[in-house]
Amino acid sequence: MPSNRSCRTVVSAFVIGETLPAKHLPMHVKSRSHSIGPVVASRAIVPLLKIQRTMDQTAVFTVSGRLDGENVRELCQLIDAERPGAPVVVDLTDLVLADRDAIRYLRDCETGDRVVLRNCPEYVRVWMTKEENR
């Protein structure tokens, strides 16, 4: 009987968010009214970063949204929590925006032997190269 690889896949998701006024929400995000006041009622949590972990033989962290100096620590902790010496893939297909601290972290990760960046946007590659030459 052939093995079913999807049965062995483990998926975890980590979402880091911030509160934004409801008028800045995308159309598909609905704001709920709260009974604790008009300021809270007009706000909703919008994810800034989502990190999804998929595990088959190699841990793959798919990063979606905005990666910045504050939330890059979350990604760092997740990578550090993986088995020592095990390769880790960071998939940046859905990365929307990154700041200087995030770029430096990604560059440092890739220069080590453990982390492989996959589907890295061109602007990130260019920025990493410029940071490397500083």
- Is the distance from CB of 67 to CB of 97 less than 8 angstroms? yes
pLDDT surpassing 90 at residue 92:
yes
pLDDT in tens, 3-25: 443 333 444 455 555 444 444 44
pLDDT surpassing 50 at residue 69:
yes
Confidence tier at 119 by pLDDT (50, 70, 90): very high
Q: Please state the rounded mean pLDDT for residues 56-69.
A: 90
Select the more confidently predicted residue: 128 or 11: 128
Distance CA 13, CA 4 (A): 22
Helices vs. strands in the chain: H and E counts, helices first: 4, 5
pLDDT surpassing 90 at residue 134:
no
- 86 φ, ψ (degrees, to nearest 5): -75, 135
Q: Does domain 5-16+49-132 have CATH number 3.30.750.24?
A: yes
Confidence tier at 113 by pLDDT (50, 70, 90): confident
Q: Which class for 41: exposed (0-12), middle (13-18), buried (19 or more C-beta within 10 A)?
A: middle
Written as one letter, the residue type at 78 is L
Whether the predicted model's global pTM rises above the 0.85 cut: no
Select the more confidently predicted residue: 59 or 48: 59
pLDDT surpassing 60 at residue 85:
yes
Spell out the domain ranges in the chain: 5-16+49-132
